[in-house]
């Protein structure tokens, strides 16, 4: 089987969507499929909106049996603020319906980054995929291109949209992921893979055919994220107090600002905790931290990109793993924490309540509520028995990679009109 996976970024990047696609792409390759990933040349996330940021120079690569081809993002010569303003105007227009709206929104999207024409995507057109699978509706130009290519080669087109639903019924976050032209793409897809029932129900309510929506969730190769050296991580960072780990992009929507403020609040109350940020750092967060008083920064460790080994060490060392984000369609970080028996804190926003059960395997707080976040951190770091109980309950919820991969294979088989044979777990994988 020949598979074409289209995603905004891919290995070695560590964002949730990147790691999500990497896991099953490599699993398909290990099972004998010919897998090619088409992605962009963005290194920094901000490169999508700011061409002065870093890009990847290598056009072609191969990792774990997966062929990777990076396409150059193209930008119109407009300031970053202009792009943001246009994007916001597009999102706000979703409140109304008017003739030609979908075509107009597609055209407006050209003020942001876009990819070369589909004719440049496959250098060798003798390589025709059996399935085209694209991702992330926030980068709808990639999904539109994948759709055109799929129709050109007469292959089914699957989409994993990673819809971020925000923290309320009128959330601005939701509008950025559910604009009319984005929903039109999902309605035309041969299959849509939702990560949670919350996301699936929302998409069905917006007109995506229920028989084309498949809840596949997320899985984890437990062995790949466990076995770290806690002492090594703490010694390297000089941490001798409770440690809160934040994995993923450090940005406002991820709750990073609020975590930093909660750490300061706890320190002033005589309960110091170290907060470690591991993952890409957005410029907005860099500026925010730089402007904090020295005393407020002393327990913040902003690491940026970390290796897989360092991530395992950090997970082993953490007392709590926090992702108080309003922009999650799932939150693989929670699975990684639970695999290590760690309690989690999430925001009561988006699809997180479908993943984290409040007071059973983690704690949920309102997005942006610094006081509630600080209270949750203190509760878990002051009560090791509570932390252990929640972490153990989460550990029981971790779905092994094989079961998750099987669900994805079944969707592939369905659109191809075949049957997916059961797969076995890899050595060391599972609960």
Q: Is 431 among the domain residues?
A: no
Where is pLDDT greater, at 16 or 150? 150
Model pLDDT, residue 424? 66
Percent of the chain past pLDDT 70, that is, above it, reads 97
Same domain? For 379 and 352 the reply is yes
Q: What is the 3-state secondary structure (H, E, C) of 266-309?
A: HHHCCCCCEEEEECCECHHHHHHHHCCCHHHHCCEEEEECCCHH
Q: Work out the average pLDDT over 361-366.
A: 97
- Nearest CA among 3, 214, 41 for reference residue 127: 3
pLDDT of 191 reads 98
Work out the angle at residue 407's Cα, subtended by the Cα atoms of residues 350 and 339, and round it to the nearest 5 degrees. Answer: 65
Quote the pLDDT of residue 169.
64
Q: How confident is the model at residue 416, as a pLDDT?
A: 96
Alpha carbon 196 to chain centroid, angstroms: 13
Position 425 in a domain: no
The pLDDT tens digits for 127-154 are: 899 999 999 998 998 999 999 999 999 9
How many C-beta neighbours within 10 Å does residue 103 have? 11
Indicate whether 310 belongs to any domain.
Answer: yes
Torsion of CA 317, 333, 29, 146, to 10 degrees: -150
Residues 301 and 404 in one domain: no
Residues 251 and 264 in one domain: yes
Q: 202 and 97 in one domain?
A: yes
Convert the pLDDT of each residue in 263-314 to its tens digit.
999 999 999 999 999 999 999 999 999 999 998 899 999 999 899 999 999 9
What pLDDT, on a 0 to 100 scale, did the predictor assign at position 218? 93
Residue 257 lies in a domain: yes
DSSP assignment of 18-56 equals: HHHHHHHHHHHHHTT-EEEEEEE-BSSGGGGT-TTS-B-
Same domain, yes or no, for 28 and 120?
yes
Cα–Cα distance between 13 and 43 in angstroms, integer?
A: 8
Range of the domain at 85: 2-219+400-416
Can you tell me the mean pLDDT for 322-340?
94
Average pLDDT (90-109) is 83
Q: Do 385 and 406 belong together in one domain?
A: no
Query: Is there a domain that residue 424 lies in?
Result: no
Q: Do 159 and 19 share a structural domain? A: yes
The answer to whether residues 12 and 78 belong to one domain is: yes
Whether residue 430 is predicted with pLDDT greater than 80 in this model: the reply is no
Mean pLDDT of the chain: 91
8 Å CB contact between 274 and 384: no
Side-chain half-sphere exposure of 305, counting CA atoms within 13 A: 8
- The confidence score (pLDDT) of residue 342 equals 98
Give residue 176's pLDDT.
84
- Domain of 291, CATH number, reads 3.40.50.2000
Write down the pLDDT at residue 425. Answer: 60
Q: Phi and psi dihedrals of 245, rounded to 5?
A: -105, 130
Residues 68 and 157 occupy one common structural domain: yes
Instruction: Round to whole Å and give the CA distance between 408 and 98.
Output: 37
How many domains does the structure of the chain reveal?
Answer: 2
- Kindly report, residue by residue over 208-254, the tens digit of the pLDDT: 999 999 999 998 889 989 999 999 999 999 999 999 999 999 999 99
- Is residue 345 included in any domain, yes or no? yes
- Asked if residue 326 and residue 293 are part of one domain, the reply reads yes
Are residue 20 and residue 149 in the same domain, yes or no? yes
The better pLDDT of the pair 349, 85 is held by 349
Is residue 430 in some structural domain? Answer: no
Give me the residue label for tokens 């008083």. Answer: 293
Distances (CA, A) of 61 to 3, 56, 122: 16, 11, 14
Residues 192 and 226 in one domain: no
How does pLDDT run across 141-188, given as a tens digit for each residue?
899 999 999 999 999 999 999 999 887 766 778 888 899 999 999 999
DSSP string, 238-272: T--S-EEEEES-BSGGGTHHHHHHHHHHHHHTT--
Under the banding of pLDDT at 50, 70 and 90, the label for residue 426 is low
Percentage of residues of the chain with pLDDT beyond 90: 71
87 within a domain of the structure (yes/no):
yes
132 touches 149 (CB < 8 A): yes
State yes or no: pLDDT of 193 exceeds 70: yes
Question: What span, in angstroms and rounded, lies between the C-alpha atoms of 217 and 195?
Answer: 4
């Amino acid at each position: 089987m020949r598979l074409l996976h289209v995603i905004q970024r891919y290995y070695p990047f560590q964002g949730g969507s990147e790691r999500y696609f990497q896991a099953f792409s490599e699993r398909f390759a290990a099972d004998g499929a010919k897998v090619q990933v088409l992605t962009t040349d963005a290194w920094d996330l901000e490169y999508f909106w700011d061409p002065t940021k870093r890009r990847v120079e290598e056009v072609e690569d191969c990792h774990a049996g997966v062929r990777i081809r990076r396409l150059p993002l193209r930008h119109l010569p407009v300031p970053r603020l202009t792009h943001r303003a246009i994007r916001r105007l597009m999102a706000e227009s979703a409140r109304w319906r008017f003739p030609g709206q979908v075509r107009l929104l597609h055209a407006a999207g050209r003020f942001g980054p876009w990819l070369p024409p589909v004719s440049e995507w496959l250098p060798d057109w003798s390589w025709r995929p059996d399935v085209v699978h694209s991702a992330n509706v926030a980068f709808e130009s990639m999904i539109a291109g994948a759709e055109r290519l799929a129709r050109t080669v007469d292959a089914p087109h699957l989409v994993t949209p990673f819809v971020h639903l925000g923290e309320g019924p009128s959330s601005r976050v939701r509008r950025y992921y559910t604009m009319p032209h984005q929903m039109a793409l999902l309605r035309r897809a041969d299959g849509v893979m939702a990560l949670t029932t919350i996301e699936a129900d929302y998409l069905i309510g917006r007109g995506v055919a229920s028989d084309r929506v498949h809840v596949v969730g997320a899985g984890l190769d437990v062995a790949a994220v466990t076995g770290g050296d806690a002492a090594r991580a703490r010694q390297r960072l000089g941490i001798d107090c409770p440690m809160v780990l934040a994995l993923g992009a450090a940005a406002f929507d991820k709750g990073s600002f609020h975590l930093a403020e909660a750490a300061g609040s706890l320190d002033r109350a005589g309960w110091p905790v170290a907060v470690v940020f591991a993952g890409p750092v957005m410029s907005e967060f860099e500026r925010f931290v730089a402007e904090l008083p020295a005393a407020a920064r002393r327990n913040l460790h902003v690491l940026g990109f970390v290796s897989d080994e360092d991530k395992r060490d950090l997970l082993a060392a953490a007392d709590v793993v926090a992702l108080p984000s309003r922009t999650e369609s799932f939150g693989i970080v929670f699975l990684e924490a639970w695999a290590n028996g760690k309690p989690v804190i999430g925001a009561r926003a988006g699809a997180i309540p479908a993943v984290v059960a409040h007071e059973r395997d983690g704690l949920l707080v309102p997005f942006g509520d610094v006081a509630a976040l600080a209270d949750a951190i203190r509760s878990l770091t002051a009560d090791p028995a509570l932390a252990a109980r929640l972490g153990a309950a989460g550990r029981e919820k971790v779905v092994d990679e094989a079961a998750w991969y099987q669900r994805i294979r079944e969707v592939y088989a369905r659109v191809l009109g075949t049957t997916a044979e059961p797969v076995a777990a890899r050595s060391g994988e599972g609960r």
